[in-house]
Chain A
Amino acid sequence: MKRLDLIHPLLFAIFPILFIYAHNVQEASISQVFMPTVLALLFTLLLWIIISFLVKDKLRAGIITTVFLLMFFSYGHVFDLLEKYNLVIAKHRYTIPGSFFLFGYISYALCVVRLKLDGIARTLTFVASVLIIINLINIVPQEIRKYNVIIQDEQEKNASYKPDIYYIIVDEYASISTIKNIYNYDNGSFVDYLTDLGFYISRESRTPYPLTYKSLASSLNMEFIDSDDEISTYRKISNNKVVRFLKSRGYQFVYVGNWYDRSRYKMNADYQYNYFLNRNINYTDEFQLVLMDSTMLRPLQWLFDFSYQGSNNYRNSVIYSFNELKQIPNLESPKFVFAHILCPHTPFVFDQDGGEVDSTNSHNWRNKQYYLNQYIYVTEQLKILAGQILQNSKESPIIIIQSDHGPRPTNSPKPEQNFEIPKDEIHKIFNAYYLPNMDKNLLPENISPVNSFRMIFNYYFEENFELLEAN
């Protein structure tokens, strides 16, 4: 019996994590695999030691441990199957004790029945190795594609006028007409406020993309995105043309991010502000929640209330982004500041005064008040922010306040909390520009986000980007 044949429990501890990662490789980051893998290995080792102590046989204990791991990690999938067929036993109160009962008797059988254990161990190790290799074959090329981002710096060019540029994306912020048509709310006071400050509001702007990653990739690369491949689109965000252009003109890049970008793309920023990165908080991310959902920990998920979408984390991250943005004018100029604020995107955690929202309504689109309240809260924060950026900037900056897409009131996991709106409303966006010295009469009412930076670079950096025709 080779020692290597004994390692199947460790392999079976790693395999389910790799399996879930392989199925989410486009949206998750390999760094998210690290913690669950370490915990799974530690747990497996501990279990193996305890069972070895009880049965006084390492080989047997290893097989029993593997049986437990198989049951532990397949629990969620089996439960889903029982639920799908609407079986009465599809309740954790039956399935968890049932699993332990079954595990107990399988373990007992393994202890009393004479079996060729070394043969079983060898087979298990072989099977686990094959499963891991199959998943690695899927993961490795995708990882290479992800990390093969060459940050192409262009040769530095001189330009005399280098205003700070703020590109503030408010995720899912409805256009002036959508908030009026669908939510019966007149946001005219915000328009008036920005106009008084000197902003131009492009009232008829639309994005071709109702998805954040495509919308951002398009506007930051000043081109339309045809590909549906998520990895290549995320790479376009990581290595975008706007940042490359501005860096070549001596700009510093400041990025204000959120949980969404942590696993999807990497910004090569000189200064990075991210609540989930900078505040050293413990939280369960998307990958960990999906993994937990497939295991015996599923019934205990309510204990992990500190998820990335938990009310406190979400609220704090949005407030953090606005607070940091207010301080950024003090950083050395010239700088390009890109902020992606995940609000008024779900979960709904703010009422219009910034108060908390009952968590049962965190995705309640059907009661329009929840989105509207969060929208009003963000609007007030944007007002304060715009005023402070202008007040604290030594030279007049360029500011773009834009939404990536309109509200999509169909993304609640509870269908009864959703409602349909005309498709066009999802494509309509809020789009406001503060463009010092530019004649606003030259600006059209329907500036497409794909042209935002083409227009700015043409005017302030004397470039000749052709304005693209948006459909």
Chain B
Amino acid sequence: MIKKFRINKKTAIHLSIIIIFVIYLFQADFIFNKLLKVDGESRLQNIDLPVDNSQVTFHIDDIIDTKIKWKEVKEVCGWAFMQNRNNDNNRTMVVLKSQENTYIFDTIIQSKPDITLHFKETGLDLDNSGFKAFISKDLLENGRYNIGLCLIDGESKNLTYGNNYITKDNNYILNRFVSDRKVMKIPEENSGIIYSIDRNQEMSDEEKDLFEIIGWAFIGGKSIEDEKIYLVLKSEKDTYVFDTLSQKRPDVTAEFCKDGLDRNLDDSGFIANIPKEAIKNGRYKTGIYIKGDGVDCLQYTGNELTV
């Protein structure tokens, strides 16, 4: 005789407890990140962002880890204003943009009469140009975020991204650009790159070990405009390519255009922060790879890294 499957009361209670617990685990982030807000925490905004039009002048003064009650937040503070406009009725938003996600947060206005004073030649009233955003750390997905400022004044929306980055990796958020590993084919070495490695050091940030490599590079005889600079690490077994953050280096232009050559090397600066954990143990020679429209150049520098 076929027995009918029946769940007794005890099993039902256990199953209920386990199911409730599992449901809770899946919903915990939603509950704590989206439902439970604390006073002062920046709220996510649901607005259509304009394209970056470089019409916002801004500066990020500080990015600090802090807590509001039980919530861990990143405090982003600075000042921002729209070119040729007073800051009377502006709404200032902090925008965090990664490859996958974009977050827009509201901010609290801070009084900054010193900014009015600094830009007095513009004749603008910038006393309310200061801002502070308290961004819940848990709200952000893993990724590298470029920080931008979006200012809204009535119908006018302006957005500008700067050179500030934060990078989230599970429980850590680093206040820096962390290089991403790129899977790409690199050419054979040639020696057309003029470069300098200004700094090549091991460092630790939020208990994450990084190699920080700072320098400048360009292809001899050419300006550097739309080209991208990558950092290549090559050992006997493995080769890694990492992207870099472009840095303004007008001093390089000044130095290499002394002879009256018309070249723009302002974008020749780069910073790479390479997480140690992304590289297998070994001894690597470092190379600079410049890729652009019709440009594909790699040169090893003689510097080495040991993991």
Residues of B168-200 contacting chain A, CB below 8 A:
169-172, 175
Q: How far is the CB of B144 from chain A (nearest CB, A)?
A: 16
CA distance A83 to B207 in the complex (A): 10
With A91-B138, A94-B25, A94-B28: A86-B170 Cβ-Cβ less than 8 Å: yes
How many A-B residue pairs have C-beta atoms within 8 angstroms? Tell me. 49
Are A302 and B67 closer than 8 Å at their CB atoms? yes
CA distance A87 to B24 in the complex (A): 18
Q: Which of B24, B28, B64, B172 contacts A360 (CB 8 A)?
A: B64
Given the complex, which residues of A lie within 8 Å of B75, measured CB to CB?
360
Given the complex, which residues of B lie within 8 Å of A90, measured CB to CB?
170-171
A299 at the B interface (CB under 8 A): yes
Residue on A nearest B71 in the bound complex, by CB: A302
CA distance A90 to B17 in the complex (A): 22
A420 at the B interface (CB under 8 A): no
Given the complex, which residues of B lie within 8 Å of A93, measured CB to CB?
28-29, 31-32
B306 at the A interface (CB under 8 A): no
Are B65 and A97 closer than 8 Å at their CB atoms? no
With A86-B172, A416-B175: A302-B69 Cβ-Cβ less than 8 Å: yes
Are B63 and A416 closer than 8 Å at their CB atoms? yes
B66 at the A interface (CB under 8 A): yes
How would residues 86 to 112 of chain A score, 1 for a CB under 8 Å from any chain B CB and 0 otherwise?
Answer: 111011111001000100100000000
Residues of B64-78 contacting chain A, CB below 8 A:
64-67, 69-70, 75
Given the complex, which residues of B lie within 8 Å of A299, measured CB to CB?
70
With A93-B29, A97-B24, A416-B64: A302-B70 Cβ-Cβ less than 8 Å: yes
CA distance A364 to B62 in the complex (A): 11
Given the complex, which residues of A lie within 8 Å of B63, measured CB to CB?
416
Given the complex, which residues of B lie within 8 Å of A101, measured CB to CB?
17, 21
Given the complex, which residues of A lie within 8 Å of B205, measured CB to CB?
415
Residues of B7-44 contacting chain A, CB below 8 A:
17, 21, 24-25, 28-29, 31-32
Residue on A nearest B32 in the bound complex, by CB: A93
Q: Which of B21, B24, B28, B65 contacts A414 (CB 8 A)?
A: B65
CA distance A104 to B16 in the complex (A): 14
Given the complex, which residues of B lie within 8 Å of A302, measured CB to CB?
67, 69-70
Residues of B47-101 contacting chain A, CB below 8 A:
62-67, 69-70, 75
Q: How far is the CB of A296 from chain B (nearest CB, A)?
A: 14
Given the complex, which residues of A lie within 8 Å of B171, measured CB to CB?
83, 86-88, 90-91
How would residues 186 to 197 of chain A score, 1 for a CB under 8 Å from any chain B CB and 0 otherwise?
Answer: 000000000000
A84 at the B interface (CB under 8 A): yes
Given the complex, which residues of A lie within 8 Å of B169, measured CB to CB?
86
CA distance A364 to B75 in the complex (A): 13
Instruction: Offer 20 A-B interface pairs, CB within 8 angstroms, sorted by A.
Output: A84-B207, A86-B171, A87-B171, A88-B170, A88-B171, A90-B170, A90-B171, A93-B29, A93-B31, A93-B32, A94-B25, A97-B25, A97-B28, A101-B17, A101-B21, A104-B17, A360-B64, A367-B62, A416-B63, A416-B65
| Chain B interface residues toward A at CB < 8 A | 17, 21, 24-25, 28-29, 31-32, 62-67, 69-70, 75, 138, 169-172, 175, 205, 207
Additional 13 contacts, C-beta under 8 A, given A86-B172, A416-B65, A416-B175: A83-B171, A86-B169, A87-B171, A88-B170, A90-B171, A91-B171, A93-B31, A93-B32, A94-B25, A101-B17, A360-B66, A416-B63, A417-B64
